[in-house]
Structure 1
Amino acid sequence: MKKIFLAGAVLASLYSLAQVGVNTQNPQGIFNIDGKSSTNTTNPITGVPTNLQMTDDFIVKNTGATGIGTVPDNYAMLDIASSNKGILAPRVNLISNIYDLNADGDNNLSNQPQGLLVYNTGTALSKGYYFWDGSEWRVFDSSTSITPTFDGLVCASATLSPSGYANGIPYTGNLRVPYTGGNGGSYQTGGPINIHGLTIALRSGKLEYGEGELVFSVTGTPDTNNDFAITLNQAAVPFLASGQECTTMITNQKGADIKNIAFLGSLTLTSENGRSGYHLVGNTPDGKWSVRCFLPTNTDFSDVNLQLRYNGSASDPTTRDIIQNTTYMWGGGATTSGNQVRYPKNIWAGSNVNVSSLQTALAQNASNFPNWGDPGVYASSIPEYRLYHWTDFDTAGSKVFYTMEFMMGSSTPSAQATAVTCPSGTCTSTRVFFNLRQITAP
């Protein structure tokens, strides 16, 4: 009867939002059970029990936060204090890194919540603590707790990635500094180095056993394009031993920008520059040049020519000079080169020269059939492999270089391109391939 009365009193008190204490007259939350195994000491001024008394308490605050052996911290939903005990997580046998514990019985792996923590006792995966990240079980790193040390930094071999930065342009990257003689110890972040608008700070990590590299984050907006030096000392790398500090250079090395684009398809009907026929067009990534495989109507598929077009705006010059090299290979091979070849603006044209003097490319019109490089991309009904290179000759400040790979195949190379062989304007018996690369120097 007394037990029933006590339970009713507790429930009534909770319902009225009063504080309830079991074995204590000074509850530290809405519900406080004092285990009474520790000394019951209370501060005579504040009336608050001392920490010594808290060691066996179970406390629930009005926020739902729970403390075991302590009043829960304001930032914690569960706060456990003990000087001689730990926490035992559920011990399970993980048979794979995507194993479903299936606690809800639906055999649906996607319902397994992220952050689930277990201790693996099985042998399929190494023993230890694991957490579910939403797609696989990830193991906690059991790194050695020894103090990190190494023989020394190799500051002369430091590298910055990305290697280029520009004054006034936000930058995010990493500085990597090699070291020797690491002992496998883990380390925390270091103090920041603030220089030329950039903040350089050691990322936390674990030393290799032997050679490795420290990684520093580099962020900010640089106020210079020049190289500069930084000193790596104990403030930047807390575990540096006396005499191990060194100076490294932050070197601005801008690499070339390389863009690649490919085109694959069949010849289709066209009437550009006054002559009808069938073609496939590819454009350089910057759009300044176009290449095409072109075949006039009623011409054998094996007689296809390559052509080049300079895509100029209204303010651009009416012509543009390039240096070109064209290579064609079949059972043998040959190359032609033009030291300075002039192409008209916005007209398909071609030049097959092997001279050092200025040449003007032939423009496409209603009657002619220019070829860029050797005419006909077939040799004895066998497809040739073409490799082309070109760059500006007279455009001030240009640092762009272009290359192109080309090949065309046809199941009927001796047939002609007509409305019959190319129904609805598409020559389905042909396959054309362009691979265009644009390289821009820094």
Structure 2
Amino acid sequence: MKKILILAKLFIALLSFAQIGIGRANPRGALDINKDNDTNTMGLVLPTNSNVNNIINPLGSNVIPGTIIYDSTNDCVRLYKGTNAWSNCLSDTSCEGMIQTLDCAGATHTGTLTNGQAATGVSSVISYTGGNGSAHSGQTVASTGVTGLTATLSAGSFATGNGTLTYTISGTPSGSGTASFAINIGGQTCTLTRTVQNLTASVGSLTCASATFSPATITAGNAYTGTMTVPYTGGNGGSYPQGTAQVINGLTFRLQAGTLNIGSGNLVYTVTGTPTSVTTMSIPVSFSGATTCNVSKAVQLPATPPAKTGCFNIIYNSNSSTGFITQVTNSVAGNVSQRTSIPDISWCQTNVASKFNHMSIGTTTTWKFNKPVGFLGMTIDANGSTTNTTPTFWRNGVQVYPSQTHVGAFKCDTNIFTRNFEYEGVWFDEMRYTADRISITEICLDRVSKW
């Protein structure tokens, strides 16, 4: 029994000092995997991982110095050193330098990214720790999420210890939202994010004087459906929503949603409705609250006046241009007056008339109106005598010829003979009457239709 125990102790002692040979009878070290004739055709495959920080000690303590792996991210062999840090790449001298941590979340940003605009002066600075002082070759990373951007790090060297990396961002973002960059440098990874904001549409100037309408002609009283186009310069490419409707002279103007050109372009407004007056409209145009101007557009008369619509009392004010009749010439001084309680004899429900007394024989009296007239009721009173003279009508200095209708007897005053007429069918802004009888005492204009 004693001999057996001695032999067992000797065998254990031999094992304690033995070498292991794989394919070799006499190993030349603790582990020798070479064939006896050193003609190997297969190599050693090391444990592989994409990040050295994933390597653990199965016993629960720190990684043991001397541990070796293949770093698939940096494509090299790396060794865990006695300084409790992973070595630089061992396979060649051009491998990346190493860092311990990389802080994308705490990055500081310069510049602003805007949808549709090329990035200018935009960068992000990322802090790191545990730099080993070795060189890195830089990198270029394309954005995801919001695409179209590139983050570029120039080649350089890590600091020994803590430091920063500056990524310059270039390109034009494809939209608004978050642009993400997958940073992978010095054995560490993180995701850098930058916000891309919506572009606020703006223009440098509006050219209202060059605005156009389609169809080009707008006629009072006729329904209109078309567009107003206003040129601009200095557009920034931003998108804008539909504008608020504004109503001018019975027409509704509304800016349509769209996207500005970079530089020059046009704003398009829809125009709908029925214009109520013959006038020159002044249409205010504003964009982004900063640029304003006014478009001028004339509303034309219809080719012929509408039949007996829009009746107005005649008001003559010799002291103001606000009166409908703006001028009367060659009427006897002091005898231009307003009449009241004149009975109505036609379709127009009015009881106000303008009375012009005591015209001299052979004298022409002229009435001028501040707006085009399409219908006029007129009464001539004479002291028991007839008159053959009829008025003449003019538009912009050119004589026009309305139709004349005799509508029966009517007296401006208590005179004996009265002639009452209505004139319509063409537009006019002036009436002239030449007296052919000294006995003509009054002319009353008592009904009118105008724009």
TM beyond 0.5: no
Tell me the TM-score normalized by structure 1: 0.23
Tell me the TM-score normalized by structure 2: 0.23
